[in-house]
Structure 1
Amino acid sequence: MDGTLDHVMLRVADLNDSLEWYETHLDYEEKDRHEGDGFTIVYLGPEDMHEDGAMLELTHNEGDDDLDVGDGWGHIAVRVPEGELEDAYQQLMDDGVEDYRDPESCGGRYAFVKDPDGHEIEIVQRDQGARWSLDHTMIRIEDADEALGFWTRKFEYEHTSRWEADSFSNYFMKPADAAPEEMSVELTYNYDGRSYDMGDAWGHLCVRVDDLEEDWDQLLTREAADYRDPESNDNMYAFTEDQDGHEIELLERDPSADSLFPF
């Protein structure tokens, strides 16, 4: 299994507003688009993103303009170079982005803004990857041992770092031998035993596979959830779920194809 995190999908109420926001404030460009029956999917990312860097997928469903962000998904994080956090945040403020959590309120280590649909976007300082490229996606989990076991056993991910606080822990997971520029998964575990609501504004994470059918069979052998198998999706992609119900797409990516979509 390849294991590279290919993209993270967010649902948006107004596609044009969202595209303008990401293209204006994060300098994203449209990589590809698919117009379906009642929905549109757009892939976005920095112009000079790494070949294994993750894309942002925005999905708009016609007539679906009342989205619930929920709290089972947390945020996406984007990168700026070390030492440029405050300047980057101030530039966003100057450009009209709403002030949400500034660097000072976050101890000078990171900051947060929100996109037009209320998706939280963390700004982190990294010396790798294109400016504004996706650094990680945070999801909230109810059992840390089960979640860590899921990603290590099912997808052969490695536990690359963690942060232990008084009331929560953060665990970062990546494929073995992943490039520094690749996106990681941040698993957030709160010690108070709370449960979470998925909502419908967050969509899924997508993991690249080498062979969809073979890797799907391997996941089932490893007792992954049989959620939406390849056959039910015309053998173009498949979906499993983690122990908390976060959806994970499996997709073969052909770099030489004319389209980023398997349609």
Structure 2
Amino acid sequence: MRLLHAMLRVGDLEASIRFYCEVLGMKLLRREDFPEGRFTLAFVGYGAESEQTAIELTHNWDTSAYTIGDAYGHIAIGVDDIYATCEAISTKGGKVIRAPGAMKHGTTVIAFVEDPTGYKVELIQVGK
């Protein structure tokens, strides 16, 4: 078994694709419109879906915004240089909501950014 994807409902599909691709460096893997169901699916990720987990961005055409429930946590991405990554994200217009630093009650260096819908993305320092 393998984790295939995680799905997020987004109100502005184009802004979300720009964030995940231009700001976080993912690639648009595939996109398909479903006119009869009035929705579009866009899959983004760092590699082919046959080898890596993707994020499915679901845009329901008649919904422009969502309320993020308190059960949602975050998506986590490992990065080699968290400080440079956060600087690059800010330069590209991304919103860093927690600057890099040690996690509370631990030593792992983390940061948080927020996507256009308001979903949190945790960055975790995995390199030196």
TM-score band w.r.t. shorter chain = 0.7 to 0.9
Indicate the residue corresponding to 2:90 in structure 1. Answer: 220
Decide which of 59, 66, 78 is 1:196's aligned counterpart.
Answer: 66
Decide which of 104, 125, 128 is 1:252's aligned counterpart.
Answer: 125
Relative to structure 1, the CA distance from residue 174 to residue 164 in structure 2 (aligned partners, 3 Å threshold; closer, same or farther) is same
Residues 144-188 of structure 1 deviation map (CA, whole Å, 9 limit, x = unaligned): 11111111110121111122102000000011x457331101000
2: CA distance between counterparts of 1:197 and 1:215?
Answer: 28
Residues 96 and 111, structure 2, Cα contact 8 Å, conserved in 1: no
Equivalent AA in structure 2 for residue 203 of structure 1: G
Indicate the residue corresponding to 1:99 in structure 2. Answer: none
Are residue 150 (structure 1) and residue 19 (structure 2) matched? yes
Q: Secondary structure at the match of 1:134?
A: coil
Residues 47-88 of structure 1 deviation map (CA, whole Å, 9 limit, x = unaligned): xxxxxxxxxxxxxxxxxxxxxxxxxxxxxxxxxxxxxxxxxx
Q: Secondary structure at the match of 1:219?
A: helix
Equivalent AA in structure 2 for residue 154 of structure 1: V
Decide which of 51, 58, 78 is 1:208's aligned counterpart.
Answer: 78
> What does residue range 74-223 of structure 1 map to in structure 2 within 5 Å?
131=1, 133-166=2-35, 167-175=38-46, 177-178=47-48, 180-223=50-93
1: CA distance between counterparts of 2:56 and 2:62?
Answer: 18
1: CA distance between counterparts of 2:40 and 2:52?
Answer: 22
Report the RMSD for the aligned CA atoms in angstroms.
1.9
1: CA distance between counterparts of 2:87 and 2:64?
Answer: 33
User: Where has structure 1 moved over 2 Å in runs of 4 or more?
Assistant: 177-181, 231-235
Percent identity (aligned): 29
Indicate the residue corresponding to 1:238 in structure 2. Answer: 111
Q: Secondary structure at the match of 2:45?
A: strand
Give unpaired runs (5+ residues) of structure 1: 1-130, 255-263
Q: Secondary structure at the match of 2:112?
A: strand
Q: Secondary structure at the match of 1:151?
A: helix
Tell me the TM-score normalised to structure 2 length.
0.86
Q: Which has the larger radius of gyration?
A: 1
Residue 200 of structure 1: CA displacement? 1.3
